[in-house]
Chain A
Amino acid sequence: MADIPADQSAGIMRAADGRPLKVALARAQTRARRRAFLLVAPLLFFVLVTFVVPIGQMLHRSVHNPTFVDNMPQVAAWFRDTPAGTEPDEAALAALIAYLAAAAEARTIGAVGTRVNYEMQGTRSLFTAAGRRAGRLEAPYREALLDIDAKWGDPALWSTMRQVSTAYTANFYLAAVDRTRDLDGSVTRVAPDRAVYLTLFQRTFLLSALITFLCLLLGFPIAHLLATLPLRYSNLLMILVLLPFWTSLLVRTTAWMVILQGQGVLNNALVSLGIIGDTGRVELMYNQAGTVIAMTHILLPFMVLPLYSVMRTINPSYVRAARSLGATSWTAFRRVYLPQTLPGIGAGSLLVFILAVGYYITPALVGGASGQLISNLIAFHMQNSLNWSLAAALAALLLAAVLALYWLYDRLVGVDNMKLG
């Protein structure tokens, strides 16, 4: 007993192995934390590799486009070494022409021309035409180039080439918000007949808001009914909500196409009932109406489920108490019931809105021209115009908006409170 540490008397508790309890506890906690983390680590690693890295890499593309630098390094170097507005000298022009000839030979001239064309309309043919004849050009090069096309003397062209001569650029973000750089490099709006992205972002958010509102309008009554019916009935009715939720998105979209077409089920029914004439068929598809109707249907369960789970927890005696204290049923609903459903309204609305702004399939199939959303334009630039940097810039803006909403959702609702059926 003589080796009892002196600090025992000072009241320090010890674990069985003699370490101070505080240290042992901390160590045990560290171990528990490490163990918990190790369980999560494989998945975290998996998601980082298959999801976060690919998206990060794509975002990099929105500011990185080395087409010009890679194919015309010496010309790019000349731009780097001279201040803006410098008249190209013969040496620079000789380098340009040499690369034009080489690029035409290697069949990369179109890629260079396309890159410049993104920033300045109608310049692609300058490069392909000059490339075809570059091998035969002789000094003085300035005159020789001007001889091919007078546009080579345009300061705006050289200003544009200077802009694309760096691999890193913010120009695709400018393009994604309908802006461009003018001659002296300052940011201006593009001509109104070329502005498209801001309109589409605006439309995407407006339509999503409308769809969210419609989902709330339709979801609230049935969620309330489901929450107040005895479980026996509500479980049966719940199937009507869950079946669409579990049915393939393409199946539901197809169903709406069948219903909404000019010669579809709905119009035919209306005509045969004599409500509308055969010539007065309602246009419900290939426009915004189609997008809104189909998406409201598809997203409605995402509104009903969170609403339902909140409404289930509301104690009906509050409303009864309000009534017994003299409130009309409307007042009792508005002042007592509705405030208690707000968490559900918030959760459902945010979820529906977040999902709606990123929708692609349904608008592509039923939206026609006016029902397209920003996702459809991203797909267009990915698959048709192949302006991948612009697609990435648009995607980055959309992603930023979605992540901001997601952060809000996490703060207000908490991602761990998400419920599925």
Chain B
Amino acid sequence: MALPIYASPLERAWHYTYLVICALIFLFLIAPILIIIPLSFNAEAYFTFSEKMLRLDPEGYSLRWYDRLLTFGMVAPDAPRDAAWWSDVWHNASWVRAAKNSLIIGFFATLIATVLGTLAALGLSRPEMPFRRTIMAILISPMIVPIIITATGLFFFYSMVGLAHSYVGIILAHATLGIPFVIITVTATLVGFDQSLNRAAASLGASPTRTFFQVTMPLIMPGVISGALFAFVTSFDEVVVVLFVAAPEQQTIPRQMWNGIREQISPTILAIATILVAISVALLTVLELLRRRSERLRGLSPG
């Protein structure tokens, strides 16, 4: 991106303007996410930086909103913080229950989406696959069809077959929503996959199963894991289907946030938001490491 030596002064000026514009756009992208982090430590119940916060006075900061995440919904939040208190948190605190639900639903949805999605991606990337394009289009469509339409359809269908208000119903729905991501990432990995490796394994006497687990699998693993991460995040972030088909027992984190945002956006919402941002950062790191590993395995130049 360095300027060529023959650049005119006008071009130079434009070049620096361009860099400033880019910096502003990056700021636009990242600032909203960063701004909520300090605000979640606000000692006051407001969404602006108090003077104490700006002066970096420790009194302006507090963990009270994080504490609220634990105490909200408890039977006896003011009891002394002993084992009974923590058991109360574990069983009754709304956000803790929501987190448990999110993890359970996310885990099973990811499992289904990843297993079925990876198998299908293996089939789809074989050159002899019939109706490849059409089938691919159908399998990707859950990502494209507006979520409100999916949720509406599921509401009627689940009511008819008795899956509404059940964990299974939400898990199946979230698995469906996560599948396109698994297909996309795994097929992308398989594009660079050398099919002659499979043939070599077969000619050396390996059964197809053994070939899959010992040759194919390790090579496409980074793609599978990043697909699984996408599927998990999709489930972890999904609120509309939960709004339409879940019962109160299946309240998830986004569902709880939805309530909180509409009723009272107290900084508690910012506290949970900050935790979610931290989780995204962790996931992103894992993904980046996987990408590097994948590039190394496939002999591409490291980034």
Contact = CB atoms under 8 A, between A and B. Distances in A.
A43 B116 CA distance: 5
A36 B185 contact: no
Interface in A401-421: 402-403, 406, 410, 414-416, 418-421
B56 to A, nearest CB: 17
B289 interface: no
Contact of B18 (A221, A402, A419): A221
Interface stretch (A74-82, A132-140, A235-243): A235-243
Interface in A79-116: none
Interface stretch (A164-172, A183-191, A225-233, A341-349): A225-233
Contacts of B29: 240-241, 244, 297, 300-301
Interface stretch (B80-88, B198-206, B270-278): B270-278
Interface residues of A, number: 96
Given A55-B153, A406-B144, A37 B237 contact: no
B123 A40 contact: yes
B106 to A, nearest CB: 12
Contacts of A225: 1, 18-19, 22
A162 interface: no
A235 B303 CA distance: 8
| Max chain A Cβ within 10 angstroms of own Cβ: one of B35, B160, B181, B273 | B273
Nearest to A229: B1
| Max chain B Cβ within 10 angstroms of own Cβ: one of A239, A254, A259, A365 | A254
Interface in A366-421: 375, 378-379, 382, 388, 391-392, 395, 398-399, 402-403, 406, 410, 414-416, 418-421
Interface string B165-186: 0000000110110010100110
A323 B49 CA distance: 50
B137 to A, nearest CB: 5
A38 interface: yes
Given A52-B138, A241-B29, A378 B148 contact: yes
Interface stretch (B57-65, B66-74, B91-99, B257-265): B257-265
A347 to B, nearest CB: 13
B94 to A, nearest CB: 16
Interface in A48-88: 48, 50-58, 61
Given A51-B142, A57-B153, A406-B141, A231 B303 contact: yes
Contact of B130 (A37, A254, A415): A37
A265 B120 contact: no
A338 interface: no
A254 B269 contact: yes
Nearest to B48: A268
A35 B25 CA distance: 48
B138 A44 contact: yes
B297 interface: no
A360 B148 contact: yes
Interface residues of B, number: 95
A222 interface: yes
Contact of A375 (B18, B144, B148, B239): B148
B39 A258 contact: yes
Contacts of B258: 250, 361
Nearest to A31: B128
A382 B137 CA distance: 28
A58 B156 contact: yes
Interface string A315-343: 00000100100000100000000000000
Contacts of B129: 33, 36-37, 40
Given A33-B130, A243-B33, A254-B273, A399 B146 contact: yes
A32 interface: yes
A388 to B, nearest CB: 8
A256 interface: yes
B175 to A, nearest CB: 7
B150 A47 contact: no
Contact of A33 (B128, B147, B303): B128
A395 to B, nearest CB: 5
A156 interface: no
Nearest to B36: A255
Contacts of B144: 354-355, 402, 406
A172 to B, nearest CB: 14
A324 to B, nearest CB: 9
Contact of B261 (A40, A61, A239, A253): A253
B22 A402 contact: no
A237 B22 CA distance: 11
A399 B147 CA distance: 11
A264 B156 contact: no
A365 B30 CA distance: 20
B284 A246 contact: yes
A360 B261 contact: no
Interface string B1-35: 10010110001001000110110011011101101
A40 B147 contact: no
Interface string A268-279: 100000000000
B239 A250 contact: yes
Given A248-B276, A250-B237, A415-B137, A420 B156 contact: no
A44 B139 contact: yes
Contacts of B303: 231-232, 235
A280 interface: no
A39 B122 contact: yes
| Max chain A Cβ within 10 angstroms of own Cβ: one of B19, B32, B283 | B32
A9 interface: no
Contacts of A415: 133, 136-137, 140
A47 B179 contact: yes
A239 B152 CA distance: 35
Contacts of A54: 150, 153-154, 156-158
A253 B239 CA distance: 13
Given A257-B261, A259-B35, 8 more contacts: A46-B175, A251-B273, A255-B36, A255-B273, A258-B265, A263-B47, A265-B47, A416-B124
Per CB-CB distance, the 4 closest pairs between chain A and chain B, nearest first, are: A358-B146, A39-B123, A54-B157, A54-B153
9 contacts: A48-B138, A51-B153, A58-B156, A248-B276, A250-B258, A250-B273, A251-B277, A252-B33, A268-B48
